[in-house]
Amino acid sequence: MITGRQRALRSWLSIGLLAVLCCILAVLQYRWIGETSRAERDRLREALQASLVRLSRDFNSEISAACAALLPSASEIDRLGRERAYATRYTEWKDSHRHEQIFRRVALAAPEDRSLVLRILDPDKGVFVHAPWPARWSRMRERLAALRQGAPPEAPPSEETELIDLPRFTRMGPPVPFGLPVAEWLILEVDLDYLRSTLFPELLGRHLGGVKSDYQAAITVRTNPSIIIYQSDSNQKQSIGSSADAYVAFFDPRFDMILRRAAFGRGPGPGRPPAAPPPDSGRGRWLLSVRHRSGSLETIVERARQRNLAVSAGILLLILAAAAALVRFTRQAHRLAQLQMDFVAGVSHELRTPLTVIRTAAYNLRGKLAANPTQVERYGALIQEESEKLTAIVEQVLRFTGAQAGRVLQERGPLSVEAVVDSALLASKGLLEGSRCVVEKRIPPGLPSILGDSMALEHALQNLINNALKYGAKGGNWIGIFATTVPEQNGPTVEIRIADRGPGIPADEQEHIFEPFFRGKRAIQDQIHGTGLGLNLVKRIVEAHGGTIAVRSEPMKGSEFVVRIPAAPAGNQSEFVPAHGRTDGDDDSLNREAAREKGLT
């Protein structure tokens, strides 16, 4: 058979096993969440990079398509003349294109004699007008002049990245070291204001979810990051720079592509070659850097990881707590079941002894002893004594079931504490006489009355006195009953103490003695009569009066039960109900009534 200790050991072992499993699960989960987070971060980064590449491709296509559309073919130039051919192309492009404001200025730079003559397009009239070189274009002028002299082509300087120069080559003229001689350059100045206000927000919206998206974007000149072309957040103080989550180089007007496009006409169409090869994300005049608004992708992934870890830890803790609670409740249920079994066994045992005595006495009385009046008297007293014990047990059980059903108290009235104590002592008279115990009663005169049920309180005090006699009399053959007034926050309270000088209550039992069915080890070992219901009933009765009960006990020195009940309100202090005030509805008196009816008393 499994003992309580073995059961407890098993429960704790299973909890320990569960804790170990939870720890293993926690470690695995920690690793998995870490791996998932890293994968998620890489996935987000790749998706972001892919979006930037698409954005760069769209922008480059936009510029290349525009450039290609603005370059007339050799036959058009032959037919219309150079300036008209360019102007016609511009007008056609402008009428058909959505982003016609993409270029701020369109110009032609043609070598004439020793100099480069500049003609800027008047967009309203559709004609090129001779104009001086703008100051901002001076570096370009030098660059084009050098190219004309045969210098190698070089990238535009960082201050002029918005300028595009598209040469048209001719087979005529003096040969130059790098390529064919140039007939003229088409110069296009990209309108940065238009890009900032329209094209960039549109492209960012298409590829990153809008300017108000999760990302901040900045465009800088690639060779000189201090030149900022665009910022998605106007109040963006810190440059994205090295903290970018992804970046791409773009704005790469590639002449080969443009010229190829120009050769096939304006823009892609059915049967034409693909519009643009994927851009080289390492090439381009500008650099687009993007960073997540919360700091970086790393930060949001880390936050998500911590959230996941917290949720997982919470779930594991919940599992552990649920298991611990389950074990605790199961143990409690086992304990209660055991206590109830003990109770049934205890009550049966309690009933058996007086019943055996009564049966034997009755048997003897029917026999030859019936003629001896002294013996009849002795047996009669014995039967009465044992019947009273039976009645007390039955009454205890009935009171307990009544209390379980919420019927702890009946009628309440103002009571004298001394009268209640005296009634309780009277009720325990038989036991007191048998034990030859000294009772020291100290109740000062003028103690305030209490408002209560006299029968219930008498029963409670009788229980405490009987316990002191049962468990404590062996020690000092002394019982102390003291009462006093204690001032408390809610008004005066009457304190009743019932003490003995017995062996005391072990510390580990003190917290259980008020539980129903509980019996101390010593009570069981020494076979002291009892049901384990007494103190539980006392506690319920005292608490139903708004009072408290506590125990003080030291091994081998004795025990003291301290009952505190609030004094009756001032208006009820003068009138008292006698301690045995009620004569009807009381089980004991009913029993006496029944006995009288049978002619036994």
Closest-by-Cβ residue to ligand ADP is 520
User: Which of 22, 52, 297, 513: binder of ligand ADP (CB under 6 A)?
Assistant: 513
Nearest to 451 by CA among 589, 582, 586, 571: 571
Nearest distance from residue 463's CB to ligand ADP, in Å? 6
- Residue 545 as a binder of ligand ADP (CB under 6 A): the answer is no
Q: Assess 523 for contact with ligand ADP (CB under 6 A).
A: yes
- CB nearer to ligand ADP: give 27 or 344: 344
| Smallest distance from ligand ADP to CB 37, Å | 59
Number of chain residues interacting with ligand ADP (CB under 6 A): 22
Establish if 531 lies at the interface with ligand ADP (CB under 6 A): yes
Residue 537 CB, nearest approach to ligand ADP (Å)? 8
Q: Tell whether residue 473 is a contact of ligand ADP (CB under 6 A).
A: no
Integer Cα distance of 29 and 41 in angstroms: 18
Assess 480 for contact with ligand ADP (CB under 6 A). Answer: no
Taking the C-alpha atoms of residue 52 and residue 49, their distance in angstroms, rounded to an integer, is 5
- Of 315, 56, 340, 305, give the one whose Cα is nearest residue 200: 56
Q: Is 182 helix (H, G, I), strand (E, B) or coil?
A: strand
Q: Does 517 bind ligand ADP (CB under 6 A)?
A: no
Minimum distance, C-beta of residue 417 to ligand ADP, in the bound complex (Å): 20
Applying CB under 6 A, does 530 fall inside the site for ligand ADP?
yes
The residue range among 146-154, 357-365, 434-442, 497-505 that interacts with ligand ADP, by the rule CB under 6 A, is: 497-505
Q: Which is nearer to ligand ADP, 167 or 534 (CB)?
A: 534
Three-state DSSP state, 488 = strand
Q: Which residues pair with 107 in a beta bridge?
A: 120, 187
Span 412-471, contacts to ligand ADP by CB under 6 A: 463, 467-468, 471
* Residues forming beta bridges with residue 231, ordered by sequence position: 218
Q: Which residue has the tokens 């309108």?
A: 191
Measured torsion, CA atoms of residues 458, 462, 464, 469, in degrees rounded to the nearest 10: 160
Do residues 546 and 563 lie in contact, with contact meaning Cβ atoms separated by under 8 Å?
Answer: no
Q: Which stretch binds ligand ADP (CB under 6 A): 239-247, 257-265, 532-540, 585-593?
A: 532-540
| Among positions 119, 519, 539, 580, the unique one binding ligand ADP when judged by CB under 6 A | 519
- Decide: is 559 part of the binding site for ligand ADP (CB under 6 A): yes
Q: Does 350 participate in binding ligand ADP (rule CB under 6 A)?
A: no
Tell whether residue 534 is a contact of ligand ADP (CB under 6 A): yes
CA proximity to 419, closest of 443, 398, 439: 443
Please select the residue that binds ligand ADP; options are 253, 279, 472, 480, rule is CB under 6 A.
472
Give buried/exposed letters for 367-394 (b at 16+ CB in 10 A, else e): eeeeeeeeeeeebeebbeebbebbebbe
Least separation in angstroms between residue 484's CB and ligand ADP is 20
Over its C-alpha atoms, the chain yields an Rg (Å, rounded) of 53
- Among residues 570, 581, 567, the alpha carbon closest in space to that of 449 is found at 567
Binder among 252, 461, 500, 563 for ligand ADP (CB under 6 A): 500
- Helix (H), strand (E) at residue 404: helix 373-404
Q: CB–CB of 290/203 below 8 Å?
A: no
Interface with ligand ADP, residue 541, by CB under 6 A:
no
What is the Cα–Cα distance from 59 to 283, expressed in whole angstroms? 13
Binding interface with ligand ADP (CB under 6 A):
463, 467-468, 471-472, 500, 502, 505, 513, 518-520, 522-523, 530-536, 559
